Amino acid sequence: MKKICAIFLGLCAFSTDALADSRALEDVIAEVNPSVVSIIADNNNEQALGAGIIISADGYVVTNAHVTEGAKKIALTTVDDEVFEAELVGADEKTDIALLKAVQPVDFKPATFADSENIRVGNAVFAIGNPFGLGNSVSSGIISAKERDIEKGPYDNFIQTDSAINQGNSGGPLFNMDGQIIGMNTAIFSTSGVDAGVGFAAPSNTVRWVAEQLKQNGKVVRGWLGMGVQKIRSTNAEQKNKLAIASMTEDSPAAKAGLQVGDVLEKVGDLSLKTPRHFSLGVAQTPPNTKLPVEVLRDGEIVKLEVETATVAAKEVLKEKSNDAEQPDKLTLVEQFSPEQMGAFPELNMTLAFDEGRQEFVVTYIVPHSEAQEKGISVGDRFNTVNNRKVFGFEDLRILIKESLNIGKVVLQFIGEDTVDSITLNLEMPYESN
């Protein structure tokens, strides 16, 4: 079993200017080392070790939320062995980022940040942290990959690096060769708990945004639209890899704006539609009460709307927490449905259950060697949209199937982990008894 050791990073003033002259690495390290502190967080029972980044001269420091969790006393130690007491300003569990503030007046040297959108795989980088409590230590490597989702949180978008990252590096920076922060060391994949050359850092843009939110509000205030989007896998070249609305919360901003499940997103303000995760990050970082022009493809036509972001409703927070729980496998899930929640659909060569909680159909049986089975549909697969229309129960589905009999086919949109898979099935005329 893989062991994941959480290790993040910090943040500061933002800078997009590259240094004009290439300098020796040792000179760059000497310049930025004073901007990194070692952290000891004491919760009376045990001590947590980590690192942090000085982001302002007056004593703001960014680190990992897990480093400071439950701490009664937090101490910052500079590279010159000066020790300062710090207090927790705020923490964000979803990104594992926390903001600290030195209690007494200080005159720190803050670090600067590069735009993490401009990084490239292969760029040389170096990390500074506090491995095993040894104090400021430097390791170097390259960017191995971008936009990694390691299933640590809903906003995963990690930079992967082979720079040595170990326990105690949590909250320490990942620098480019100009001495600008591009990420916060976040986690490692390891079977032994020590560095194996596969480390992850939160992008500097995310770290900076979260730190600013914590400084202003003491918490992170995220925008919310109340809809889930997924990537389309389709034989239609014009729609392939575009994002479509796969689910929607009742009375959400998206629903009130007139958006519908099955709509293909063409434009949502200036938000990135590259992947579902890019879109979710963009929505989260859009302030509440922001109006966004929207264009969607619906029934072959472009529909223009406007949606206004809101804050996440309390019921959605509870839903997110329940979704974090370990889910049963598909077959176990199917067995949980009562006979009243099951229905046979010979036109589709399958039996379905309707999950009322998630408003989705679940495949419970497929006729062997049928078209449905040959096209890759399997027991446990889920869908909630038929012919680009949201379906709310067995009666709705039977009406849509009956309406589709005249053309002899129906389109089901199956919901995957990060995709919407549109599958067209030819309808079988059911036998009727005399």
* Residues identified as active-site: 66, 96, 170
What are the C-alpha distances in Å from 80 to residues 33, 38, 303?
Answer: 10, 11, 61
d(CA 393, CA 106): 63
* Of residues 250, 131, 146, 243, the one with CA closest to residue 203: 146
DSSP helix/strand/coil, 118: helix
Q: How does strand 112-113 pair with strand 13-14?
A: parallel
DSSP helix/strand/coil, 366: strand
d(CA 109, CA 63): 16
Q: How does strand 112-113 pair with strand 124-129?
A: unpaired
For tokens 């680190």, the residue is: 63
Lookup: tokens for 208: 């900076």
Within a 10 A sphere around the Cβ of 88, how many other Cβ atoms?
Answer: 18
d(CA 148, CA 135): 29
Q: How far apart are the first and last CA of the chain?
A: 59
Mind giving me the DSSP string for 337-349?
S-GGGEEEETTTT
